[in-house]
Structure 1
Amino acid sequence: MRGKILAAGLALSASLGSSAWANESVIKATSDPNNWATQNGDYAGHRYSKLNQITTENVGQLQVAWTFSTGVLRGHEGSPLVVGNEMYMVTPFPNVVYALNLADEQKIVWKYVPKQDPSVISVMCCDTVTRGLQYADGKIFMYQADTTLVALDAKTGKELWKVANGDPKMGETGTSAPLIVKDKVLVGISGGEYGVRGSLTAYDENTGKKVWRAYSTGPDAEMLIDPEKTMSLGKPVGKDSSLKTWSGDQWKIGGGTTWGYMAYDPDLNLVYYGTGNPGTWNPVQRAGKDGKPIDLKWSMTHFARDPDTGMAKWAYQMTPFDEWDYDGINEPILADIDVKGKKRKVEVHFDRNGFAYTLDRATGEPLVAEKYDPVVNWATSINLDKSSPDYGRPVRVKKYSTFAHGTDFDTKGICPAALGSKDEQPASYSELTGLFYVPANHVCMDYEPFKVSYAAGQPFVGATLSMFPGPDKPERMGTFLAWDAGKGKIVWSKPEQFSVWSGALTTAGGVAFYGTLEGYFKAVDQKTGKELYKFKTPSGVIGNVFTYMQGGKQYVGVLSGIGGWAGIGLAAGLTNPNDGLGAVGGYSGLASYSNLGGSLTVFALP
């Protein structure tokens, strides 16, 4: 265990106390509201800032303070980091890293240009995105598209070490942001559409040496699961919990990739993250020997693990035997909230499947699970009756089952679409209101599975999709909403023409910020959802809004650069409506509002 925290009063956030378990430099940097020192603001993933210079009364006066061109097109996800006077940002492939001096007219202090084989682009499922850098102990950590994890000296940009986490020739790529806990760098793997077996790996922060790797599927020893101590829904998972729920050795080719954001509770000493879809997307090929659906554990699952050993404390599977690509990777948000009249330490998770889960973060047991888009129809509810044999499982609707209708049958009107009621774009928890602010999709789909064979490094999808707006609001494809996670209720909802594919930010000034696919940067009142400000940035926004203080002035910024899954048609020049796993046709209207770009826009009061 690392030494005691030196500075008194440092804290993760209002909901998580300080602890020597955490990385001291991360605690110190994130405890200073002048910084934006991790991708999601703090270990808890709140994306909330205590800065309050910009308020609901004056946010309408915001002006562009400065801009920066990244020099790269394609989708710009994630956000820059700000630590002291330095800002650090990374571009989509080729993953150029910049360090800017905020005290000297944003002068470029250093620039790191990695050497990568451009062939990796061909195996990047949904654009050449990266979800951002991370900082700890005077180092910047960058995860390249080709799965190379790199440590750079934050002052000079000098390469300190690098290590390959996967093999692009097998379809493995790197798009996620790492997480630094204690003296370890934790990183996942992308490639769910290429038959990649998911994993979370820990590397030594100072040397790059691999410490442990926990697979999402397979034998207990490789998953770092203890059959008697790892819990699910209040019970031990039992021996070979994964192997028993896959047909043959299919778990080796497409189980639970790990490309979303993570969170950490230093008091419980647990890291939280989600796993993605099973391969192939054709559920008929994944059925059991008797032709019936099987759970396929532990894809579509949220895990809590000990960062020292990687051992799993608990696992909760949101969508057993997934039939629709409802990846479970969306970010965990840790908070202490009232649930049914009792204060609880929870993890809140807005899943791709359209249900918002409030889980006990010590045990993983679901406390609340409700739809955060009313049109969700693949299931009616989540069974929360502990006496039921189906406790914790979705109550499915056969009409929308792609398995029940079989291969080569086009199942119509499934809600949500494969990209979910929300994808990786992170929500925010406001310590001011106690509500969660969610960037969401309002998109449904038709889904036709077909037979596909596995070949290393080749697409392993097996489904043709078309996407379209939800039936109740055909004029819109997105929404930004406020959610009460204790009650499982929408407090207010603000419709948007296109999906809100930007990470949200809330501040002590009472404002919630987000961006839209057509390029707007917006500010709304946290209490009412009333729009208070908007500005059209140079390209569609799929980046995450962030804020910092410099020279006594609060700034708010966001990366713009259309792309990602929703914007892949524009980003990659695709025109076939079924390309981009159905997104090209669904979001064809974006071409009338946005174009390719790559820039940072920073706002401040005059």
Structure 2
Amino acid sequence: MTIGIPRLLKTCVSLAAIALVGAGVANANENVLTLSADPANNVMPNITYSGQNYSLLDQVTLDNVDDLQVEWTFQLGVSDEAQAPPLVVGDTMYVVTPKPNRVYALDINEQGAIKWEFRADDSNLDTIVPVACCGAQTRGANYAEGKIFFQSLDGHIYALDAETGELEWDVQNTDIDNAESMVGNGLIVDNLYITGMAGGEYGVRGYITAYDIDTGEKAWRFYSMGPNAEVGIGDRFSPFYDFDKIEDPAEASWMEDSWKNGGGSVWGYFTYDPDAKLFYYATSNCSPWNPDYRRPWGEIDIDETGTVQSYRNNYCASMLARDATTGELIWAYNLSPQDAWDLDEPSAPVLADINIDGADRKTIIRAARNGYFYVWDRLTGEILNDPWPFVYQNIFEGVDTETGSPRYNRDVLMFTDAEDRLKYTDANALTEEQIALLEEEAELYPDEPVDGPSGTEAVVCPTIAARNWENDAYSPQTGLLYTSVQFGCRSMRVVEGQYAYPATESYTLFEWAGEKFWRDREGNETDVKNQLQANDPVTGETVWSIDYVQPTQDPIMATAGGLLFVGGDDKGVFRAINAQNGEVVWEFRTGTQSSASPVTFLGPDGKQRIAFVASARPNMMAVAADAEPDSVNRYQREGSTLYVFKLAD
């Protein structure tokens, strides 16, 4: 039953109104700040406001990690990928499952005995599951002031009493009739719960919303693109680069009213700087993928260096910094102007204070989905490094640090019509072998959308993502950022279509045009599909990496014990890795894959524990006697189990 739902305020608060609130007065929620300062607790995904996913606990070390053993387990009862890391507050662990979204409170004094269980309303699942991209997930819960906050796939935000599980309030944040869902997590600052939404595949206009943590009353909502008042752009907006210093930057950078369905949803992670009183996040792909619907048809305003001059489509595929009290936009940076390749940016903007060129700087460090590694000044939005590719990619030819803009490779620019593409490049995007494969597919599958080469295909590396949403880890001990990356390439093309509001089917307007393949850092075809990379944000180097021939791309946790903990989908294992050199120092076979970050906490005896959820969706393929020895299917079965490890006495 839904209780205590207040009257919702206006969808968008005017800048005049938020000025009354006062600029820059946000404080980190003191309860959250105090609890997260104690490494015994985990009150939010990524452990602290910084997003580093780094724990100060150091009892488990390189010297004793071999002594880890299972202390207890818990069955989640949901056959799906669990992507939300558990929370631990005091003697209670809170676990949130994917659909149908159950919350368990487990007693860590009693080896995970259930204190209470809450089951979200599942009456809308039949409506939202078919249109939710990429699974029916939730990626985290938050704790503050005796409450657990979490989001359901159909756009509800629930506040529960942390002691009893009683529902305190419930609000509907999204319009499910417009295919808006919620798969991310929120941020608690002061008395506000700040959150986003998903649906970039369906022509939504992305937004973030803040709710009062005590009442559920809406405080404000701002959009990723559109008129200044609706985006939160006012006198305090101070972007670093000239491309953003134009009048109405989030509206004038779109053709006509294409911004109304421009994507830029917010389905990933937030971070927060309590000193600057700013919170940070990045937005999803531009919608539709076909850029001809966001610019004059078949035309791109690009100079001789490959820099897009107009219709840059702010602020999808972008990094944003906002005031945490008022929601005002302070600065923004468009990572992939006029994005046509689904370059979402959902991962956490990792905050770190590092020394660059002899000066201590407050930075955001990021291995971006577009394949480039960035370091920003988090107070101004200035790029502090020369962004560099950490995977093989052919979309950019570099980033101009004077203008802040990427220089595009004309050969991968997307156009609906072949004659338009030929105005900008005469490159043959597909090899003869790929063309023959497409023609063969068209004959074998005449009813499929892939119907042979059209002359508009482009081979894109990375396809969709050099990395995805999975939590990075940053270790202040090593100064390295640890990221799960992927090497996939594929040919694609954009197509003509029609969009009707509200969205009832995909608004992507593109097709895959060939089989996926993989290229190593030098661009050579390879069997390596994923890497775990350790990248140095100061030197711009990959210090070490681990190759995976079978797909594995999991969230990573770092600890002060000099270790990384991460799942291993390739073998269905849980691993500990030397954070300094990448040596795998311990493995435990779980029998399935993993999609949630590990967490670490202190048990009732004051000893360090490591908790990890191994989970997978139903696997319909049987393992044959002659299956390949390294077949992923051999090591992964459906199921969801929480493991808690401790050092042997």
TM-score, L = length of structure 2: 0.83
Aligned positions of 1:22-421 closer than 5 A: 22-116=28-122, 117-119=124-126, 120-226=128-234, 229-233=237-241, 237-288=245-296, 291-292=299-300, 294-384=311-401, 386=402, 391-403=403-415, 405=421, 408-409=454-455, 411-418=457-464, 420-421=465-466
Moved more, 266-275 or 405-414: 405-414
* TM-aligned CA deviation for residue 378 of structure 1: 1.3
How big is each residue's C-alpha offset from its partner over 1:528-564, in whole Å with a ceiling of 9 and x where there is no partner? 111101222232111111111112221112222236x
Structure 2 CA distance for aligned equivalents of residues 49 and 228 of structure 1: 35
Does the CA-based 8 Å contact 2:26-2:277 persist in structure 1?
A: no
1 CA distance for matches of 2:229 and 2:61? 52
Q: Residues 235 and 414 from structure 1, CA distance in 2 versus in 1: closer, same or farther, beyond 3 angstroms?
A: closer
Give CA deviations for 1:433-488 in whole Å, capped at 9, x if unaligned.
12111122122221122222213232111222343322536222111111111222
Work out whether residues 283 and 322 of structure 1, in 8 Å CA contact, stay in contact via their aligned partners in 2. yes
Corresponding residue number in structure 1 for 2:590: 537
* Residues 182 and 197, structure 2, Cα contact 8 Å, conserved in 1: yes
Which residues of 2 match residues 473-552 of structure 1 at below 5 A?
Answer: 474-518=526-570, 519-550=572-603, 551-552=605-606
The equivalent position to 2:470 in structure 1, one of 425, 428, 438, is: 425
Q: Flag structure 2 segments of 5+ consecutive residues without an equivalent.
A: 1-24, 302-310, 423-452, 622-629
Shift of 1:289: 5.9
Tell me which amino acid in the other structure corresponds to 1:91: T
The answer to which of 554-563 and 294-303 deviates more is 554-563
| 1:436 correspondence with 2:481 | yes
Shift of the alpha carbon at 1:141?
A: 0.2
How far is the alpha carbon of 1:412 from its aligned partner? 4.7
Q: 2:631 and 2:233 mapped to 1: Cα distance?
A: 46
Q: Match of 2:616?
A: 562
The 5-angstrom pairing of residues 13-28 of structure 1 reads 21-28=27-34
How far apart are the structure 1 equivalents of 2:454 and 2:221?
Answer: 38
Q: Greater CA deviation, 245-254 or 49-58?
A: 245-254
SS of corresponding position for 1:186: strand
Look up the equivalent residue of 1:483 and give its one-letter code: N
Change in Cα spacing, 1:26 to 1:339, as seen in structure 2 (3 Å) is same
Counterpart CA distance in 1 for 2:634 and 2:292 is 39
Partner of 2:384, secondary structure, is strand
Partner SS for 1:439: strand
Whole-angstrom CA distance in 1 between matches of 2:34 and 2:182: 28
Aligned with 1:533: secondary structure?
Answer: strand
Does residue 457 (structure 1) correspond to residue 504 (structure 2)? The answer is yes
The residue identity in structure 2 corresponding to 1:481 is Q
Contact persistence 1:247–1:289 (CA under 8 A): no
Give secondary structure in 1 for the equivalent of 2:385: strand
Secondary structure at 1:402's aligned position in 2? Answer: coil
Match in the other structure for 2:643: 601
Structure 1 CA distance, aligned partners of 2:103 and 2:332? Answer: 35
Is the 2:373–2:388 Cα contact (8 Å) retained in structure 1?
A: yes
Aligned length: 562
Cα displacement string for residues 325-380 of structure 1 (whole angstroms, at most 9, x for unaligned residues): 11122210111001122211001122110111100000011112433534122112
Check whether the contact 1:231–1:314 (CA below 8 A) recurs between aligned residues. yes
SS, match of residue 325 in structure 1: coil
Cα deviation, residue 604, structure 1: 1.8
Label 1:221 to 1:38 Cα distance change in 2 as closer, same or farther (>3 A).
Answer: same
For structure 1, the 5+ residue unaligned runs are 1-18, 564-569, 575-587
In the TM superposition, residue 236 of structure 1 has moved relative to its aligned partner by 6.2
Amino acid at match of 1:114: A
Structure 2: which amino acid aligns with 1:546? Answer: V
Contact conserved, 2:373 with 2:390, CA < 8 A, in 1? no
Q: Does 1:446 align with 2:500?
A: no
For 1:361 and 1:498, the matched residues in 2 are separated by 36
Q: 3-state SS of the aligned residue for 1:243?
A: coil
Mapped partners of 2:202, 2:601: distance in 1: 39
For residues 454 and 495 of structure 2, the distance between their equivalents in structure 1, rounded to whole angstroms, comes to 5
Which position in structure 2 is the counterpart of 1:7?
none
> What is the identity, as a one-letter code, of the residue corresponding to 1:443?
G
- Contact 1:498/1:516, CA 8 A, preserved across alignment: no
**Which has the higher Rg, Structure 1 or Structure 2?**
2
SS of equivalent to 2:387: strand
Alpha-carbon distance, 1:262 to partner? 0.5
Per the alignment, residue 468 of structure 1 pairs with 517
* CA gap 1:198/1:110 in 2 versus in 1, 3 angstroms: same
Please give the alpha-carbon distance, in whole angstroms, between the structure 2 residues aligned to 1:138 and 1:409. 59
Of stretches 434-443 and 36-45 in structure 1, the one that deviates more from structure 2 is 434-443
Letter of the aligned partner of 2:596 in structure 1?
Answer: G
**Per-residue displacement from partner, 1:259-279 (whole Å, max 9, x unpaired)?**
010000010000000011111
Q: Distance between the aligned counterparts of 1:452 and 1:589, measured in 2?
A: 39
Shift of 1:235: 7.9
- Cα distance in structure 1, aligned partners of 2:634 and 2:29: 46
Secondary structure of the residue aligned to 1:451 is: coil
Say whether the 8 Å CA contact 1:410–1:446 is kept in structure 2: no
Residue by residue over 1:414-441, the C-alpha shift from the partner in whole angstroms, topping out at 9 and shown as x without a partner, is 21110x1111001111121121111221
The 3-state SS of whatever aligns with 1:556 is strand
